[in-house]
Amino acid sequence: MSDNTETEQLGSLEITDILKLLPHRYPFLLVDRIKDIEGGDRCTGIKNVTINEPFFQGHFPDFPIMPGVLIIEGMAQTAGVLCIHHANKDLNDNPNLVFFMSIDKARFRRPVVPGDTLHYKVDKVRGRGTVWRFKCQAYVEGKLVTEAEIGAMVVDKEKAMQKK
């Protein structure tokens, strides 16, 4: 594949696009931008970690560290963007939600602190029907901080809302 073709297939999404794809909002939206997205196969999400994050008040006051479970959630949200974006090319017509189903092989390598920029790298392992599986890695300054395999299911938003 030529460099030009590869570049043409890669896209990016700003926060306004992400807000159309995900139901998450402050303080639980943990991806600020999608740096690149390639079809339904892979993407890279960005999270700028600041001292203003509400979880730093209690985790930990004298040594602020981003909770590992929130890094996993950020990777899952990035995977959700990949699923929904692939299924719905029109960002204004979004009838689906992505539910987190499983997490396997989670490893935490380094702490994430205020001032860090997380790069969530998400690669589709497989997608059958509505069930997807992803290999996810989070990096800060090119160093691996977290990795996990995540399972997700795409569901119709209208049907999910009726079950409430």
pTM score: 0.90
Domain boundaries, the chain: 3-162
CA distance 69 to 71: 5
Buried b (16+ CB within 10 A) or exposed e, 50-83: eeebeebeeeeeeebebbbebbbbbbbbbbbbbb
Which tokens belong to 108?
Answer: 């935490």
The pLDDT, as a whole number, for residue 131 is 94
Q: Give the pLDDT score at 42.
A: 97
Q: 24, 59, 86, 119: which one is catalytic?
A: 59
What pLDDT is stored for residue 29 in this prediction?
98
Q: Are 106 and 72 in contact (CB under 8 A)?
A: yes
Is 119 catalytic? The answer is: no
Residue spans of alpha helices (H) in 66-163: 68-87, 157-162
Report yes or no: 72 and 103 within 8 Å, Cβ to Cβ: yes
In degrees, to the nearest 5, what angle opens at C-alpha 142 toward C-alphas 57 and 52? 20
CA atoms of 150 and 76, how far apart (whole Å): 7
Predicted pLDDT at 95: 67
Helix (H) or strand (E) holding 95: none
Confidence at residue 158, expressed as pLDDT on a 0 to 100 scale: 78
Mean pLDDT by runs of 10 across the 164 residues of the chain is 44 94 95 95 97 95 96 98 82 77 98 98 94 97 98 86 72
Q: What is the pLDDT of residue 161?
A: 75
Phi/psi region, residue 37 (left: phi>0; alpha: psi -120 to 50; beta: rest), is beta
CATH of domain 3-162: 3.10.129.10
